[in-house]
Chain A
């Protein structure tokens, strides 16, 4: 399973944000994407997942050779793509538990398997509760999330770190083939960062998952070791290298990238 992005151009409200992004994320491989504020990293992430606000004007996104461009976000999710969001959205009145149950069931195709006779029954499209509950409990323990959270409304009043943890909990249940983590590290304290990172590593190994880790900081990359590092600048990938690139960035900041660019012009 490979996520392939070819010469992607994206505009938001008439303004071009992505100006030709090309990238291939293979299964089992970790890519880090680093770049200054406003350079378009989240735009890339949302576009890959199919947010309707982002208009693709040129380029192609392929998941295992199949184009995602005409697919809705849920179709992409069912094909194995996942996005841990930088700013997860709250939904009032919907418990984390019922949401996780519905999402897990949807991605695993329980709805598709509902026999015609049972259609319309509220629970017909859901994974059997006992089975789900057991798996959920294992994941909660694994990410050290208090089960009391399950009765809270989705992301409502969650602290920054709690939201990020809940995102990774979702990832653990949805078992994607390729996951994009948009600043999952921001908001996590040191202990939580280690715990969540280790969780991600275990999942990656279990699922042979391709990862695109968007971050500003080296610290998460100390735990999740990137095979490839990309520097993102003004809607493009301007540099690609190995993990050493992170150290260079950490030392010199993006000024170094900018100078490199102008020098090259």
Chain B
């Protein structure tokens, strides 16, 4: 897919809005309750701070990578150094690439068995509530602690079906050809500056391969977590759903809070082959000092279906636009996203649907909540190329503002080179009404509880798409987000 970097994040022309004047220091390190804690971990290895060829070579050497991967990284480094910063979206003025560490290894070797996982790390999982929510899946959990997987194991039955679910390092070693054939094929190295950065310094992430016709019944889960100060997290995930297969991959993350900013620039590439169905669910709750700049893109072949289910509650600034490239006839893509921008948070999120073939359809649903001085912007791009007849797209964008000073902006971009198409766009902005609050409070619910209930109601169309334990976690995060300021 050669839709490369001329337009930066691939979202068309940068908007006219001058966002640099909106600059706000990432301040206010608030107590975020149980999600903000730190577990002391001995880092087996830590690169120097900052960027350089030496760091790239060091990472590659430590991972014992094949030559082609080192070459890939070095080329990407050149691209990164060469490319400009995005000048729109969020303010990245305070982002200093030299302040981060680009590689950290939490434990010297990968653990296959839960018993081997160090106590401090288990403790972290405990605090995150993972054992509660996911113990039953533990046998199949792919967990990333800092730059590398600490725990990775695969259910025997999956192996029996030929399913590959491993961390990316293992994949580069054990499934080199598959990785080489797919990496950067959905998100080119030069797609945007952060994709290039990720390509040069990536570490961790998951590799999923589902053979033709295989239905993966239990979702594959990964739990990401940044756990060291100034740690850049650059996970790289590739999911390949072969013809007629079905897979659901879930990634959730919470990060502790530090005073120095951390950087998260993941790249996720998904390939949905003919008649296959893939769903990628993520709930990110990075702490407020995290820059969250992620590129997610899926290429969908004929009769395939890709669904991005994307929840954003944390991080200070976020730029994220899950994309579906509908390459084959009748391919379908859905993006369902929520963003909750609290005080000092700025989201510039959205979605992108590229219709390249006839009878393709896309559905983009975005729900955003802004609280305090939080800002949440939505960019939705729908592009229909010539020949993609009868393409259909629907974009629905609902914003809920909790305070007078909170903001929400919508930027729809529609670019259709075909006449015979149907594109709908709906946008609403609403506020929590005094009457709703009063009604709920008159039934004994505190203001914080009442607001959380109204918000959960607003998010219901999203929440009902989540597996039970994630729905519970999301509700809880919303509650925490609300209790932060009310009462």
CB-based nearest A residue for B438: A51
CA distance A82 to B444 in the complex (A): 9
A97-128: which have CB < 8 Å to B? 98-99, 102-103, 106-107, 111, 120-122
Indicate if the CB atoms of A91 and B472 lie closer than 8 Å.
no
CB-based nearest A residue for B446: A74
A132-186: which have CB < 8 Å to B? 153-154, 170, 174
Q: Does A62 contact B (CB under 8 A)?
A: no
CA distance A51 to B480 in the complex (A): 26
Q: Does A3 contact B (CB under 8 A)?
A: no
B1-52: which have CB < 8 Å to A? 33-34
Contacts known (A106-B449, A120-B480); A91 close to B443, Cβ less than 8 A: no
Q: Does A57 contact B (CB under 8 A)?
A: no
Indicate if the CB atoms of A102 and B458 lie closer than 8 Å.
no
CB-based nearest A residue for B471: A122
Residues of A within 8 A of B460 (CB): 92-94
Please give the distance in Å from A178's CB to the nearest CB on chain B. Answer: 13
CA distance A120 to B457 in the complex (A): 19
Please give the distance in Å from B105's CB to the nearest CB on chain A. Answer: 32
Indicate if the CB atoms of A92 and B442 lie closer than 8 Å.
no
* Chain B positions 428 through 470: 1 when the CB is less than 8 Å from some CB of chain A, otherwise 0: 0000011110111111111101100110111111000000000
Please give the distance in Å from A127's CB to the nearest CB on chain B. Answer: 12
CA distance A78 to B458 in the complex (A): 26
CA distance A88 to B440 in the complex (A): 10
Please give the distance in Å from A10's CB to the nearest CB on chain B. Answer: 15
Residues of A within 8 A of B34 (CB): 120
Contact of A102 among B433, B439, B453, B461 (CB under 8 A): B453
Residues of A within 8 A of B441 (CB): 50, 72-74, 77
Indicate if the CB atoms of B442 and A91 lie closer than 8 Å.
no
Residues of A within 8 A of B456 (CB): 93-94
* Chain A positions 59 through 73: 1 when the CB is less than 8 Å from some CB of chain B, otherwise 0: 000000000000011
Q: Does A85 contact B (CB under 8 A)?
A: yes
CB-based nearest A residue for B132: A121
CA distance A211 to B433 in the complex (A): 29
Q: Does B410 contact A (CB under 8 A)?
A: no
Indicate if the CB atoms of B444 and A91 lie closer than 8 Å.
no
Indicate if the CB atoms of B475 and A92 lie closer than 8 Å.
no
Report the count of interface residues on B (CB-CB < 8 A).
31
Q: Does B476 contact A (CB under 8 A)?
A: yes
Contacts known (A74-B447, A89-B439, A102-B445); A53 close to B434, Cβ less than 8 A: yes
Indicate if the CB atoms of A122 and B472 lie closer than 8 Å.
yes
CB-based nearest A residue for B450: A74
Indicate if the CB atoms of A91 and B454 lie closer than 8 Å.
yes
Indicate if the CB atoms of A103 and B439 lie closer than 8 Å.
no
The contact size tier of chain A is 35 or more
CA distance A51 to B439 in the complex (A): 9
Residues of B within 8 A of A122 (CB): 472, 475-476, 479
Indicate if the CB atoms of A73 and B434 lie closer than 8 Å.
no
CA distance A153 to B456 in the complex (A): 12
Residues of B within 8 A of A98 (CB): 453
Q: Does A38 contact B (CB under 8 A)?
A: no
Contact of A77 among B436, B443, B454, B472 (CB under 8 A): B443
Q: Does A83 contact B (CB under 8 A)?
A: yes
Please give the distance in Å from B475's CB to the nearest CB on chain A. Answer: 5
Indicate if the CB atoms of A120 and B438 lie closer than 8 Å.
no
Q: Does A17 contact B (CB under 8 A)?
A: no
CB-based nearest A residue for B460: A93
Residues of B within 8 A of A82 (CB): 442
Q: Does A52 contact B (CB under 8 A)?
A: yes
Residues of A within 8 A of B479 (CB): 120, 122
* Chain A positions 190 through 204: 1 when the CB is less than 8 Å from some CB of chain B, otherwise 0: 000000000000000
Please give the distance in Å from B449's CB to the nearest CB on chain A. Answer: 7
Q: Does A8 contact B (CB under 8 A)?
A: no
Contacts known (A120-B33, A122-B475); A91 close to B447, Cβ less than 8 A: no
Contacts known (A52-B438, A94-B460, A99-B453); A106 close to B443, Cβ less than 8 A: yes
Q: Does A29 contact B (CB under 8 A)?
A: no
Q: Does A44 contact B (CB under 8 A)?
A: no
Given A72-B446, A92-B460, A120-B34, 12 other A-B residues pairs in contact with their CB atoms under 8 A: A49-B442, A73-B441, A74-B450, A77-B443, A91-B439, A99-B440, A99-B443, A106-B446, A107-B444, A121-B476, A122-B475, A153-B457
* B contact residues vs A (CB 8 Å cutoff): 33-34, 433-436, 438-447, 449-450, 453-454, 456-461, 472, 475-476, 479-480
Selected A-B contacts with CB under 8 Å, 30 pairs? A46-B438, A51-B438, A52-B438, A53-B434, A74-B442, A74-B445, A74-B446, A76-B442, A77-B441, A77-B442, A77-B444, A85-B442, A89-B433, A89-B435, A89-B436, A91-B440, A91-B457, A92-B460, A93-B458, A93-B459, A94-B457, A99-B440, A99-B453, A103-B443, A103-B445, A107-B443, A107-B444, A120-B34, A174-B443, A174-B444
* A contact residues vs B (CB 8 Å cutoff): 46, 49-53, 72-74, 76-78, 82-83, 85, 88-89, 91-94, 98-99, 102-103, 106-107, 111, 120-122, 153-154, 170, 174
